[in-house]
Structure formats: structure tokens, C-alpha cells
A and B are shown apart, each in its own frame.
Chain A
Amino acid sequence: MAKIKSSKRINQFIAFNLFRLISFMVVAILFLILGFIIVRGASAISWKFLTTNPIDGMTGGGILPAIVGTLCLVVGSMLFAFPIGVLSGIYINEYLTENWFKKFVRSMTNNLAGVPSIVFGLFGMALFVHDLGFGDSIIAGSLTLGLMVLPIIIRTTEEALKSVDDSLRIGSYALGATKLQTIRRVVLPIATPNIITGLILSVSRVSGETAPILFTVAAYFLPRLPHSIFDQVMALPYHLYVLTTSGTDIEKTRPIAYGTALVLIMIVLIVNIFANLLRRIYNKKLK
């Protein structure tokens, strides 16, 4: 092999190590945040913490209602956003021809993705809470959060479908399959793992967003589990905010706030791990 000029070799060395350093930094930041929360919040975690209601002006007890509330909102928003988002993505990518309308829809979807979450909250309050009369409720919160993540699901579905090679669709048509059969039997199975990624991303967003739930569902203090979708609920991100800034005794509730943050991060992590497992199993089936 020809000898590379030493100045070029030095440049390569610097560049590669710079990239290495930056990569490590990114990982380090993640561990730093995790570590920070774990160290300060671990002391609050106990079985009681996870399964009982807050007491003594939320300076003691657990955060069960907030956990349940967040889970309700995740399920509710996904029930709304996932089918609509995936079907929209399929329609846009598989049925629309490349014309002005398709470009318009794409650009509108991107714009929707850029709307600040608090604006979604305001919209949700106006439409779901007031005009449609749902009041502060799980259903109002779920619909608002669902709207917020809808563009994410649409976009990731579109990308997932785009990544399926067209030669496979053509092969399917040549065998006499209709468009719908081709989508169901050839395209979707291949795109599914990436669509699931979109689902994970959305679940993470929904679990952690505070602004949209501020005026559509979140309760300051509601020490009971919801009875119906028209009930208000507590939620983890809002509970964290409340404990840190406007609780009855901020110093006393701080460890509980960290504990809440830890639970929130853990939920997101568990969902990620679970969904990645799903993807692995699915990919194995394809092999």
C-alpha cells in the first residue's frame, strides 16, 4: 500500500478522534442526565411510591394517580393518532400521485409538526374542553396529545413506506396483485419495524409533554383513579412541575419530584426497550 503523506495521516488522526470524542460526549450527556436523576430520585422510589396516592399535601405518599393518568393519556392519544397517522401515511405515499396536492399535504404535515406544543394545548382547550363540552378530561387531553404527535406518525410511516424498494411493488403487480393486496402483503410487512419506531417516538413525546395537558386534562391534586374518559387525571410531567414550583412545601417535595422524573424516564426507557424487542422479533421473522 502506498504511503500516505504524513500530514494527511495526522489530519485523519485528528478528525477521527474528534468524531470519537463528540460521540462519547453525546453518550456522556445521556448518562449524565440519567445519573443525575437516578442519584437524586432513587431514594424516593419504593413499592409504596408507585402504588399509593399522595398524602400530606403531596409531601408524602406515592404518585400512583399520576402514573395511571399518564398511561391513560398515552393509550388514549395512541388509539386516536396511530390508526389515523398510519392510514394517512399509507394514502399519501401509496395512492397520491406526485403533484401539487401531494406536495401541499406534505408541507402542511411538516407545518403541523412545527406548531409549539402549548399552542396545541390552547387549541385543545378551545375545541375539546369548551366548544365540544368535554371539559378537562382524559378525552380532551388524549385528542390534543394525539393531534400533536399525528404529524410524527404520518412522517415516519411515509419514510418507512418509501424505504420499501419499488421493484417489489412492481413484482407484486406483475403477479396479478391489486394495489391493496400489494400494500398489505408486501409493503407493510417490510415497513412495519420502522412504523413501530414512529410509534415509540410518539409514546415518548406524549408521556413527557406538559403544555398540551396543562389546560385540557391535568389535575393539580386528584387522589383517586379515573372512572371515565370524561374525568380529569393527574399526569407525571405536570406533577413534576407542581412539586418543583408550586407545591405546599417545595423543599420537602423535591425528592418526590426527582422520584417522579425517574419514573417518567423509566417508563419511556421501558417502552423503548420493549418496542426494540418487538422490532427484533419482527425482523427475525422476515429472515
Chain B
Amino acid sequence: MSTIKVEARDFNLYYGEFQALKNINFKAEENTVTAFIGPSGCGKSTLLRTFNRMNDLIIGVRTEGETLVNGVNVYNKSVNVDDLRKQVGMVFQKPNPFPKSIFENVAFSLRVDGMHDKSIIEEKVVTSLQKAALWEEVKDKLKKSALALSGGQQQRLCIARSLAIEPSILLMDEPASALDPISTAKIEDLIYELKKEYTIVIVTHNMQQAGRVSDNTAFFYMGDLIECDKTTTIFTSPTNIQTQNYITGRFG
């Protein structure tokens, strides 16, 4: 029985008066890839952002119920939000590298965590870039600006950046939607590799991508988690009629 890395229990979230998440119950096991799918505004990104408390940055957010990471409720008083974010990495839809060198981008999370040892930092930067399948392309130009990279490379840099601090969980919010098909394919291959070491939750609008990349899929609609099951099951014989309609393109 493998560990549950990410979990939601009877979780509700309100943006002011509007209820964005309704009684969500969800579990993700270690070293799996879970895809969150559903039409725009269904709450999938909102739930994703709860796992590393990025919703804290939005004013007027209220929650009920529990969200657990590594078995601990993220809203527990004892949880330091900055430490939580070091255990849970996040990659965004639009790549957002800092206007610094490639090296400094990856080293950022290490420095911010208080690491001073130059040789250790260097070592971890190299490892992270290798894990993100970017090392070969940038090894000769680590001091060059990150902004000079292509979109796909920038996104892989952002992935490397979040891997440097060695989280166990990776959250990806439509990581390939702003990229061209070839970069998208590279990212998808990357996710398949990363699965061996990390637990990944990926929000995606692209159902083919969900089918290619994930072990489990969760279908959301209007704040409800309609169905969550093995990806093959969801896409071939879903239990719920709404899931069926979404998969076949009847709406969304």
C-alpha cells in the first residue's frame, strides 16, 4: 500500500460569496501522475493551488475541510507556508523565469533556503537541469540570461528551478498549453520520467495529453469532483454521464 502524498477531505473553497470547490474528496498516491480535467472555471486550478497554499495570495478566500500534503493538513498552525512550498513545486501555464542567468534561476530556491556552499549549489543546479532534460542545451551558457531561451526551454527551466529544492510533489498548471507541439511532447516525456521520483498533479485542458501522460484522472465540473479513477477507465468506460459527455466533446 503506497503512501498518500496529496489528499483533500470534504474540502470546500469560497472566493467571497462564490463557492469554487464543493466537498472535494481526493487522494493521490506516491509516484503517480494525476490529471485534473474539466471545462474552464470548474475549480481544477483552484484545487491545485490549495496544495501549496498559493490561494493565500488571493484576498477573500475562505476554506472548509482539509487539504493534506504528506499527511499533514496544510492549514495546520504548525505548518510554515514557505517550507510547504519547498516540499511542493509548482509550474505555471506561462513560463515565468526570472530575468537572471540560467544558473541563478535554478539556484534561486537553494539560496532562498539559506544554502551558501557554492559547490553544493553548483551540483544541485546541474542535477536539476539534467532532470528537466535541459542540461545538454544549456550547459555551455549557464551565465546567459534565462530570457534568451525559447518558450519550451524556459518552461523546462522553470521545472528545473522547482526541482532544485528537491520537493516530493510537483504541481503543474497547464504547463504545455503555451508551447508548440514539439516542446509539448518534450514536456510530456519529461513528466513520464519524473514520475519515477515525484508525485505529479497536472491540470490540463488537453484530454489527449491527460490520456498520454497520467495514471489517474479526476474530472471536475462546476466545483464538484464528478469522477476520479484510472485514466484508462475514465476514457473508455466512465461511470458518470457528465464525464462521458465531456470526454466525447459534448461540452467544454
Contact = CB atoms under 8 A, between A and B. Distances in A.
Our verdict on whether A and B bind, yes or no, reads yes
Interface of A: 97-98, 165, 167-168, 170-178, 181, 185-186, 189-190, 286-287
A78 B98 CA distance: 31
B124 interface: no
A96 to B, nearest CB: 12
Contacts of A165: 96
B92 interface: yes
A175 B83 CA distance: 9
A181 B86 CA distance: 14
Given A173-B54, A175-B89, 16 more contacts: A165-B96, A167-B92, A167-B94, A167-B96, A170-B96, A172-B98, A172-B112, A175-B85, A175-B86, A175-B109, A176-B82, A176-B109, A177-B108, A177-B112, A178-B82, A189-B100
Interface string B41-75: 00000000000101001010000000000000000
A99 to B, nearest CB: 9
B99 A176 contact: no
Contacts of B165: 175-176
B98 A97 contact: no
A174 B90 contact: yes
Nearest to B88: A174
A176 B145 CA distance: 22
9 smallest CB-CB distances across A and B, nearest first, come from A176-B86, A175-B109, A174-B90, A176-B85, A171-B96, A167-B96, A177-B112, A176-B82, A286-B99
B126 interface: no
Q: Which of B86, B98, B161 has the most CB of A within 10 A?
A: B98
A229 to B, nearest CB: 40
A185 B54 contact: no
B112 A170 contact: no
Contact of B83 (A170, A176, A287): A176
A97 B59 contact: yes
B217 interface: no
A181 B85 CA distance: 14
Contact of B96 (A97, A168, A181, A190): A168
B57 A168 contact: no
Contact of A170 (B57, B82, B97): B57
